[in-house]
Structure 1
C-alpha cells in the first residue's frame, strides 16, 4: 500500500517527525531540577508566545512563571532572567559559566565569523581583542582625547537645528553619532556617494541583525525558509559590500591617504589597530585584517544606533515631562550663563543632567534583552539545573520596571538617582543599560560622553515645542522593536533659540 500511495508515506513520515519532536520538547529528565516552563508546541516550542516586542512578552510570562524561566525557541533551550537576583547569579556569581555568545548564521557572516568583541565566543582570542579595545581604543584617556571631535560635531548639530523650521531629531542624532564614530574610528567623515553608500550599508546591517531574525538558527529543519525569504542572499550581499568598504578604508590608511579632518590630529582606531597588527606580526596574536574590520564594525553599532536612539528617547522624555525639562534648563543655563555653548568641562557640575540620562536609560531601554549569552558548562542557577549550551536572555527592561525595586517605575523621575549609588557600570543588577560582568559593553565612557554633551547643548541653546499644536503631555511614547527599541515615529520638534 505504501508503494502505491506515496502521499500516505509522506504524511506518515511527517507525523512521525512531529511525534519525535513533541516527545523531545516535552519529556524532562527526572534527575534534573529545571526552571518553570510555559507550555510548548511541537517543533516551534514557545515561539507562539512571543509577540512583536519580545521583552514585553517575556515580562508577561515571567509574571506567571517566575523570574527564572526555561523556554524552547525551536530546538534551542533559552533561560530568561527577569529579576535582579537572577541577573546577579548569571552575570556575577556564574559569570564565567555564562561568558559565551551563541553562534548565529547572520553575525558569523557579517562580523567575519564573529571575530569582533560583541559576538565572539569566549576564548583567548576574545580576551586579547577585548583588552586591546579597552586599553587602546576606549580607555578614559583615549575617550577624553577625542573631546574636540565631539564638541565640533555637537556644534554642527546645533547649527543644523538653527536653520530648520521643523526639525527631525532622529535624522540629526543619527548624523551626529555617525560623524563622531567615523572621525574617531576611520579618521574622517565619509561624504558624497561613498558616504551615502556607507550609511545605507549600516542601515541594511541594522535591519538584518536581531535575535529572532533567522528561523534556521532555532529550527534547523526549517533552514530553507531563510533561503526562501531571501535572507541568506541579502546577508551575503550586505556582507560583501561592507567588506569592500572596509577594505577601502584599510587601503587608504596603508597608503597614507587618510588624513585627519581636524587640527587636533589624534590617531584614529584603524591606525592604532594597524600599528598593533604590525608590532605583533611575529608574536602569534590573531590581529589580522578580518579582526580589524570586525572590531571597527563593533564600534559603529555600539556608537551609532544605540547612542542616537538613546538621545531621541531622552529628548522625547523631557518634552513629555515639562517639569523635568524646566529643572534641567535651569541647571544647565545657570552653569552655562554667558557662554555660547556647553563644553565637556562643564558636564561634571551638571548633576541633574546625569540623573536625567540615567532615568532615560532606565525607562527607555534601547537593548531591553541585552545581548544573549550561552552556558559553557552545566551549572546551577537559583537552585535549578542549567545545561551547557543553553542560551540566556536577561530581561533588563523588566528588571528596570520592577515595582519591588523601583518606586512608581512607570514614571520619569530623575530625582530617584539623587543620593543613590546605583550607576550604569554593571555593578548594580537592578539597572543594566550596558550589561555587566565579562561581557559588559566596553564603550560606556564613549557613549555617555557623546550623549551628555549633546543633551546639555540642546537644552542650553533651545526652547522646544511640538509642531501642529500638539501638547507635550500627549506625546506618543510607543516603541518599535528592531535591533534596538526606537520610538514608533521620528521625533519632530520646533526649536527656538533661547535668548
Structure 2
C-alpha cells in the first residue's frame, strides 16, 4: 500500500506532463492567422516559454537588466512567453508612447489567471473588468460615491490612522521597495533624505497627509525611482 501511493502520484504527474506537451505541440503546429503580426522575440521552450532566457542571463538576479540586454538584440518591442502567458515587453520611450497613448485601448485589459478570475467573479469588478460599458459605469460610481472630494475628506481620519487603501497599496509599496533599495546603494543620498526628514519634523509627534509636501528632496528621490 505504501508503494502504490507514490506510484499513483508519479503516474498522474506524468500523464499531466504528457498532456501539456501534447497540447503545446498541437498548438505550435496550428498555422497562425496571416493578419497576426507579432513582434520578434527569443526562441521558446515547452511549458516555461521564455523564462530560461532570464534565468540563464548574466543579469539573472536583475530581470529588468536582462530584458534590457535582450532588447538590444530583438528591438524595443519583444514578444516573450512567461509560462503560458504571452507578454509584450516595451523598452523605449517611443514604443511606450505608442502602447500607452496611441493604442491604449488595445492594451488596457488585464490578463486574468485562474486566481484573479475566481476572486473577481469572472472579471466583473473594477480592477479586473475589461474596458467596456460595465467598467465605465463602475468608474462613474466610484468617482461619484467613493472618490469625490467630499468622500475623500470624510475618510481622512481613517487614512491617517491606518495612511493606506488596499486597492492602491501595491503600486505604493513597489515604489517604496525600489526607493529603499536605491537609497541603500547610495548612502550619501540616503543620509541627505534622512536629514531632511529629521530636520523638517523635528519635535513633531504626528505626521498628517499635508506634511510630505514639505519634503522636497525626498519627493525628487521618489520621482527618480
**TM bucket by the smaller chain?**
0.5 to 0.7
Equivalent position of 1:64 in the other structure = 73
Equivalent position of 1:149 in the other structure = 158
Equivalent position of 2:166 in the other structure = 300
Equivalent position of 1:40 in the other structure = 44
Shift of 1:65: 0.8
What TM-score comes out, normalization by structure 1 length? Answer: 0.34
Shift of 1:106: 1.1
2:110, 2:129 within 8 Å by CA — same for their partners in 1? yes
1:21, 1:43 within 8 Å by CA — same for their partners in 2? no
User: Structure 2 residue aligned with 1:345, among 185, 210, 215?
Assistant: 210
CA 38–356 in structure 1, closer or farther in 2 if over 3 Å, else same: same
CA 337–50 in structure 1, closer or farther in 2 if over 3 Å, else same: closer
Q: 1:333 & 1:19 partners in 2: Cα distance?
A: 61
Shift of 1:45: 4.0
1:44, 1:73 within 8 Å by CA — same for their partners in 2? yes
Q: Which structure would you say has the larger RCO, counting Cα contacts within 8 Å and 6 or more residues apart? A: 1
CA 41–326 in structure 1, closer or farther in 2 if over 3 Å, else same: closer
Residues 80-134 of structure 1 show CA distances to partners (whole Å, capped at 9, x for unaligned) of 2122211211111011222222232110112222222221122211111123233
CA 336–31 in structure 1, closer or farther in 2 if over 3 Å, else same: closer
User: Structure 1 residue aligned with 2:94, among 85, 89, 95?
Assistant: 85
Equivalent position of 1:323 in the other structure = 188
Shift of 1:301: 4.7
Shift of 1:306: 4.4
1:68, 1:79 within 8 Å by CA — same for their partners in 2? yes
The Cα RMSD (Å) is 3.7
Secondary structure at the counterpart of residue 130 of structure 1 = helix
2:39, 2:77 within 8 Å by CA — same for their partners in 1? yes
2:79, 2:89 within 8 Å by CA — same for their partners in 1? yes
Residues 176-227 of structure 1 show CA distances to partners (whole Å, capped at 9, x for unaligned) of xxx455xxxxxxxxxxxxxxxxxxxxxxxxxxxxxxxxxxxxxxxxxxxxxx
Equivalent position of 1:133 in the other structure = 142
1:69, 1:79 within 8 Å by CA — same for their partners in 2? yes
Secondary structure at the counterpart of residue 348 of structure 1 = helix
Equivalent residues in 2 for 1:133-282 (5 A)? Answer: 133-139=142-148, 142-151=151-160, 153=161, 179-181=162-164
Q: 2:23 & 2:179 partners in 1: Cα distance?
A: 50
CA 317–128 in structure 1, closer or farther in 2 if over 3 Å, else same: same
Equivalent position of 1:110 in the other structure = 119
Q: 1:64 & 1:57 partners in 2: Cα distance?
A: 11
Secondary structure at the counterpart of residue 69 of structure 1 = strand
CA 325–76 in structure 1, closer or farther in 2 if over 3 Å, else same: closer
Residues 240-271 of structure 1 show CA distances to partners (whole Å, capped at 9, x for unaligned) of xxxxxxxxxxxxxxxxxxxxxxxxxxxxxxxx
CA 135–328 in structure 1, closer or farther in 2 if over 3 Å, else same: farther
Equivalent position of 2:129 in the other structure = 120
Shift of 1:150: 3.9
Shift of 1:29: 5.9
Secondary structure at the counterpart of residue 79 of structure 2 = strand
Q: 2:24 & 2:176 partners in 1: Cα distance?
A: 48
CA 319–146 in structure 1, closer or farther in 2 if over 3 Å, else same: farther
Secondary structure at the counterpart of residue 107 of structure 2 = coil
1:102, 1:121 within 8 Å by CA — same for their partners in 2? no
Uncovered stretches (5+) of structure 2, i.e. residues with no partner: 1-18
- The count of corresponding residues between Structure 1 and Structure 2 is 202
If each structure's helix is expressed as a fraction of its own residues, which one has the higher value? 2
Secondary structure at the counterpart of residue 80 of structure 2 = strand
2:183, 2:189 within 8 Å by CA — same for their partners in 1? yes
Equivalent position of 1:23 in the other structure = 29
Residues 289-342 of structure 1 show CA distances to partners (whole Å, capped at 9, x for unaligned) of xxxxxxxxxx52532x54445445544544543322333344344444554444
